Structure 1
């Protein structure tokens, strides 16, 4: 029994000595492919960012090129070791796409292809504020498998690219301007009318820093409900959308607080509400 074990171990040792040089060469090939892929991706990324001015597409194509070169190096290493039959069988059976699906599993391949569509279709750019389902935040990166979004609460969300492509996506910063609104409920008294309040609110809103007043982006007010001496007024205003949190959300909050304070100082009853 010991002699059989020694014979088996000796056979394995001889097989290892036979394949050791090929393994060493394969490791060298993989190391060289890794270094070349890293260097090439850096050069390609700098070229793409300089010419396309689109960091989202540039980063995605850089990652694709990097992983493509690594896969090529891995295939070459497998052929050196003697697994050329496996490589040719995989590639010849269904092409490169089938190899990706078989190598990375179906969901990863689906997210990769969805990332390709997102990179070229570009429904958003880096730092755009988007909403997908109930998640609202800024786009930080588009990777081979996931889209990274950072919420205004500081949470980092990794969404599969297939979900981003499949779900309705709202981009709040794609256009230069965005319209917001809030409701003012006020009792204007017996001697006054809602038109005076509308003029006061419009004057205040249009003179607030950050509110756009250049046509066609102008503020206006609609009367939603009136009963007796009370009126519900819907105030619409436009703001720049590049920094959605500061230029839109914070501005809206300041306008709501300032409008209520302005109406109180103008002598309107403290029953005034803004929402």
Structure 2
């Protein structure tokens, strides 16, 4: 019988690392991928030291066009199949879209959208065969327009929409599909994006460990979406009561305060 594994992208830091710990603690054999091989190896050693089978490490930059092929080849070489896919990798950059480096912003699309879509479709047959699940990491930002981080916010809107549609298509095959939409989480994301955590992080943030645990439980319970923390849960509800133009202006003013 082919061994079944869980693939987690962006596993070298933040929510990705915590997701790896939660899945491993619940008996999943893992495949960890991210750019930084040293961090992945350290995490793999940590998890195997707790009694589980050592994760498979695939150092890979998801911005590369052949990233999906590289991951698939690594799985084939190990003789394993996916029963769960966790598309966690993602990043954003802060600042006006027309002023930021264009290649960097296209890189956001490569990681947050193209790679997530590629892996979801590439391994769908395995997930259907193994009656598994997909966890896509979106963001509460996906419910909003995002002047000041336009490409990032738009990419997370795609993640939410794509995940919900894929849930409808794969659900009839016994595959669970869940989107995780956290708010600000203390991690390396803010440093890479180019801003320091502010007031929103102070009042809305939930720890990466708590987000990961909520995400795992939500996926296993076949929830459509997981919004960790009370403050985040009310955001989509409140948005129904305000005109889109008002929300756009409010987000723009809020983002300008970060500069």
TM-score, normalised relative to structure 1: 0.20
Instruction: Flag the structure with higher strand content.
Output: 1
Larger Rg: 1
TM-score, normalised relative to structure 2: 0.21
